Chain A
Amino acid sequence: MNDLSTSSQITYQAVPIRPGTIRRIRGLSDQALAWLFITPTIVLLLAINIFPLVWTIYLSFTNYRANRANAPTIWLGADWYQSILTDPDIWAAMQVTAHFVVWTVLIETVLGFGLAFLIDKKFRGHGLWTTIILLPMMLSPAVVGNFWTFLYQPQIGLFNYVVAFFTGREASSFQMLGDVTLSPWAIVIVDAWMWTPYVMLICLAGLRSIPDYIYEAAEVDRASNWRQFWSITLPMALPFIMLAVLFRGIENFKMFDMVNLLTGGGPGSTTEVASITLKRAAFESWRTGYSSAFAIILFVTVFGLANIYVKALNRVKSR
């Protein structure tokens, strides 16, 4: 009792409030107080999110170039949007992006869920294995990009030697990054290597959230392992899997760093994903208006797809 009263005294002594301040706060309505607390956040959001977005939308209708800020800005209407949506190079970049997103997400989901399923079995040393599996996602994409560039080197790279060992082909007879057919797969392999652990982690959280008593009830009902997997594990882990797919899908739609390091979009334009095209237009060609329009198109695409997906996710969760 004595201890409690002492600590109360200390608290009141540490935060002295002047009577005038108390009067002022007491005089504020709940709504005013709410505004007081959320205003800094709103100002911050407006400054770093909303204003740049509105400004980008405005620029996308003009001929503005950031490297010629003093030149007159001409209103172009929807010209950039029209030219982007009818440009075969842009569609080619979108196709490359789609190929990259679909295959990476598919591979990462299948492998990530499989690994999570294995790790969830809590075999001996599973903690160590979990840490080892998680290592790639802890690396910086810049490190991963450079590291895999060496691995893919046809003459000294380990990757070619491993393939040569299993196939009998000469190691330097093929190049993963310089070949039109192989290079899109080369970047898929690297992304899958790096981000499968992330999907595994989310799936593992899903698997661990399934209560044991459900499996116990299934055991009592003599449900086979296969039946338990299809009727309990997969449906209950599905919202988590879908969440992982959403995160990876959005991330890979805007993939830039790793592809830039590995192939720079080449050979030719074989691996030129949309973000590389956008970066070239914005910061190499300085076509600010054009690249703003392209950024808005990409934003609307991702936003639209993500919204549809989230609705589906909510439907699955509510089942």
Chain B
Amino acid sequence: MKQTVKALLTACGVLASALGVGAGTTPAHAQAKTITLCWAAWDPANALVELSKDFTAKTGVGMKFEFVPWTNYADRFLNELNSHGSLCDLIIGDSQWIGGAAENGQYVKLNDFFKKEGISMDDYMPATVVGYSEWPKNSPNYWALPAMGDAVGWTYRKDWFARPEIQADFKAKYGRDLAVPKTLDELRDIAKFFQGREIDGKKVYGASIYTERGSEGITMGVSNYLYDYGFQYQDPKKPYSMDGFVNSPGAVKGLEAYKELYKCCTPPGASNSYMSEGLDAFKSGQVALQMNFFAFFPGLYKDPNVGGDKIGFFGNPAGPATQATQLGGQGISVVSYSKNQGEALQYIKWFSGGDVQKKWWALGGYSCAKSVLNDPGFPNSAPFAGEFLKSMGMVVDFWAEPSYAQLLQAEQKRVHDFVVADKGTAQEALDGLVKDWKAIFKEEGKKF
């Protein structure tokens, strides 16, 4: 009888393994409790899984992960938060969610916890604290610990740039050396130069840029042009006053420049591209330049076909007005509906540790801690580290208001209509955007 029971249990165990029961949890030993961390499914998430094994080893608290592709990330997790779901104990939520999550009581306020545990926001890069932790902005109310610093940057085919015949062609055409672009005009020239060119018997294209319509893609892309050309979300002296800032003459030119880049220099069929499409285009050797978040750069650098000596990195070039870039990245928060808040806070405390932050960077995550970023050796610790540091000093973020999703949708529609669907003029698109945003803020009861 004993033998039969034993055999049955073994069979059940084998069946459970075969069915993948328990997949996604940290392995092996008996754990007191398991907490779930929710994030996007991308390279840094894999690094976090690796890193979190140390947490489990140290505390005995098991980790389970819920990763969702970027295109469904906001839908999935905002639904979860709005329905007061307790799936996620910890969430690495997008920077723009913080206003809504704070005001709707979805995140646990961390001020008291930080004070008790001696975690200081002065130990993190200021832009990441404002972008990922604070609501209202620039006030000492913290809802997250800066977890994953990120910004939009560019990659280029260093090996193509280095070829003498290509360099000679470029110099003959533009009268200057083919080098990393310092301005958006230079970037456009380079993209134009490569568009349709034959390299190694294969037709290649200029640049892969963000044009995705459904979630946030084109907004994350066009912002890099708009900021550089003088776009501002509001009058710095009069909050929510947008006329002449969102639709300033500079912003109109920025939008036109982005459309010009899309029309002249992107591969065929790039009308709905975001992060993964950009990666595909670059990895398959289709494009000379790629716009994408720094988070992907460690993975690209390791790519056997286009990584190593073949790839170079640079921050968003300057425009006529300034040099800025779109903030990416996220903070880590404790979900207020979690039944395991104690363990979740324990994780945050552990994650804030200096050694953990160093290991986080070493594994492929982007630490926001000054102890890592201000280390003299940091700029040379990876080929993209210096550019990342520079970019984090010039980041601008989208609205983080509770109504951010509506504001984002309005921009997605207006910009995509103009850039991809050729509807109206840039001025009309931005005037329309001001109208939409005013209506949204009016509905929110804002005065401007």
Binding site for B on A (CB under 8 A): 66-68, 70, 89, 152-155, 172-173, 175, 177-180, 260, 263-270, 280, 283-287
A284, B267: Cβ atoms closer than 8 Å = no
B82, A175: Cβ atoms closer than 8 Å = no
Closest-CB distance, B417 to chain A (whole angstroms): 4
B409, A178: Cβ atoms closer than 8 Å = no
A175, B271: Cβ atoms closer than 8 Å = yes
- B409 contact from A154, A175, A270, A280, Cβ within 8 A: A280
- A286 contact from B82, B212, B271, Cβ within 8 A: B82
Binding site for A on B (CB under 8 A): 74-75, 78-79, 81-82, 100, 103-105, 212-214, 267-272, 402-403, 405-406, 409, 413, 416-418, 420-423
Q: A264 — nearest CB in chain B belongs to which residue?
A: B214
List 15 contacting pairs A-B, 8 Å CB cutoff, sorted by A.
A68-B104, A172-B268, A175-B269, A177-B272, A260-B214, A264-B212, A264-B214, A266-B271, A266-B421, A269-B417, A285-B403, A285-B405, A285-B406, A286-B82, A286-B405
B409, A266: Cβ atoms closer than 8 Å = no
Known A178-B269, A265-B214, A266-B213; 18 more pairs at CB < 8 Å: A67-B78, A67-B100, A70-B105, A155-B267, A155-B268, A172-B268, A177-B269, A178-B271, A179-B271, A263-B272, A264-B272, A266-B214, A266-B416, A267-B416, A267-B421, A269-B421, A270-B421, A284-B74
The 5 A-B pairs of least Cβ separation, nearest first, read: A178-B271, A268-B421, A264-B214, A266-B213, A268-B417
B213, A267: Cβ atoms closer than 8 Å = yes
A284, B75: Cβ atoms closer than 8 Å = yes
Which chain A residues border B103 with CB–CB below 8 Å?
Answer: 68
Q: A171 — nearest CB in chain B belongs to which residue?
A: B268
- B75 contact from A66, A180, A265, A283, Cβ within 8 A: A283
B214, A175: Cβ atoms closer than 8 Å = no
Which chain B residues border A175 with CB–CB below 8 Å?
Answer: 268-269, 271
User: Complex Cα distance A217/B105, Å?
Assistant: 78
Closest-CB distance, B63 to chain A (whole angstroms): 28
Contacts across chains A and B counted by CB atoms under 8 Å: 88
A154, B269: Cβ atoms closer than 8 Å = yes
> Is the contact region of chain A dominated by helix, strand, or loop, or is it mixed?
loop
Closest-CB distance, A115 to chain B (whole angstroms): 32
Closest-CB distance, A292 to chain B (whole angstroms): 15
Which of A263, A268, A269 has the most chain B CB within a 10 Å cutoff? A268
User: Complex Cα distance A67/B81, Å?
Assistant: 8
Which chain B residues border A154 with CB–CB below 8 Å?
Answer: 268-269
Which chain A residues border B272 with CB–CB below 8 Å?
Answer: 177-178, 263-264, 266-267
Which chain A residues border B81 with CB–CB below 8 Å?
Answer: 67
B406, A287: Cβ atoms closer than 8 Å = yes
Q: B101 — nearest CB in chain A belongs to which residue?
A: A67
- B423 contact from A177, A263, A268, Cβ within 8 A: A268
A265, B271: Cβ atoms closer than 8 Å = no
Which chain B residues border A264 with CB–CB below 8 Å?
Answer: 212-214, 272
Closest-CB distance, B276 to chain A (whole angstroms): 13
A177, B413: Cβ atoms closer than 8 Å = no
User: Complex Cα distance A130/B214, Å?
Assistant: 37
Closest-CB distance, B222 to chain A (whole angstroms): 14
